[in-house]
Amino acid sequence: MQTEHRSVELRDAELKGMNFRGYAAVFDTPWNERLIEATGYIEKIKPGAFRKALQNTDSVPFLWQHDRNQLLARTPKSMTVREDGKGLLVEASLPKSGLGEYVRELIEREDVKGMSYGIEVSQNDSSIEKRDGKVYRILTGAQRLLDVTLTWEPAYSATQVELRASGFVATPLQELLIGEEPQVEQAVAESPPNDEAWWGEEPPEPPVKDPRPWWESYIDQIEGR
C-alpha cells in the first residue's frame, strides 16, 4: 500500500457564510509537460476512482495546508465528500473560530488557490498504457481517502503544475513498471548506450578448456601446483 497526495486548482468554489463547496479532484485531467518531464509519465483520474475509498473510510478530515492540527471539518459530522460527474466534491461547514474566519477571508479574497487530497493506493488501483512512446498511468481506484485540504499553493492544476517537496507525492515510474517488459522500462527510464561502449569493443576470448582429465586438475589444486 502506498500513500499519494495530489492537488488541484480551486475550481467552481462557492462560499455562502461559513459553508464551503469545491472540488478536491477533477476527472480526466492530464498532467502538463512540466510534470510529465519530472515524473516520466502522464496521469489521469477516471470517474469512479474514489468510490471504494469513500466506502472504506469512516471519517475524512478537512485540513488547512496539510496540517492535521488545523482541522476545519470532518465527515460525517460537518462535511460530505462524494463523487459527481466532474470529480471529488467537498461540501463543508467551516468552524466559527479564529481558524475558520481566517480561512473564509482568504477564500473570499482569492488568496487560497487550491485543494488537495491524500489516498492510499495498491498496485491494482491503476493501469499502465504505452502509446506513441509515452507512458500513461490511469488511476482507477483507491483503498482509502486520507484527507482533503485547502492550500494557497496547489501542487497540481489543470492549467499550471508545480512539483514540490510537500503536498505532492507520486509513485516513481520504476515502481509503476514493475512486472512490465524490461525493454519498455529501459527505454523510458534510461539513457541510450554509447555506441562505442557496446558494439565498438570486441567480446572477450572464451576460457581455454584444460585437455587433461578432471582428476589430474583436482590433484594439482590440492598440491598447490
Which residues, at least 6 apart from 93, have a Cβ–Cβ distance to it below 8 Å? 18, 19, 20, 73, 78, 79
What distance in Å separates the CA atoms of residue 5 and residue 58, rounded to the nearest whole number?
19
29 inside domain: yes
18 inside domain: yes
51 inside domain: yes
Counting DSSP H helices and E strands in the chain, the numbers are: 7, 12
218 inside domain: no
Longest CA span, the chain: 96
How many separate domains does the chain show? 1
Q: Can you give the pLDDT at residue 214?
A: 52
Chunked mean pLDDT (size 10), the chain, 225 residues: 64 83 86 70 90 93 92 96 93 96 91 85 89 88 92 51 40 67 36 40 56 57 56
Q: What is the pTM of this model?
A: 0.67
Which residues, at least 6 apart from 182, have a Cβ–Cβ distance to it below 8 Å? none
- What Rg value do the Cα atoms of the chain yield, rounded? 27
Q: Can you give the pLDDT at residue 157?
A: 47
220 inside domain: no
28 inside domain: yes
Q: Can you give the pLDDT at residue 199?
A: 40
184 inside domain: no
Q: Can you give the pLDDT at residue 184?
A: 35
- Which domain range does residue 54 map to? 2-175
182 inside domain: no
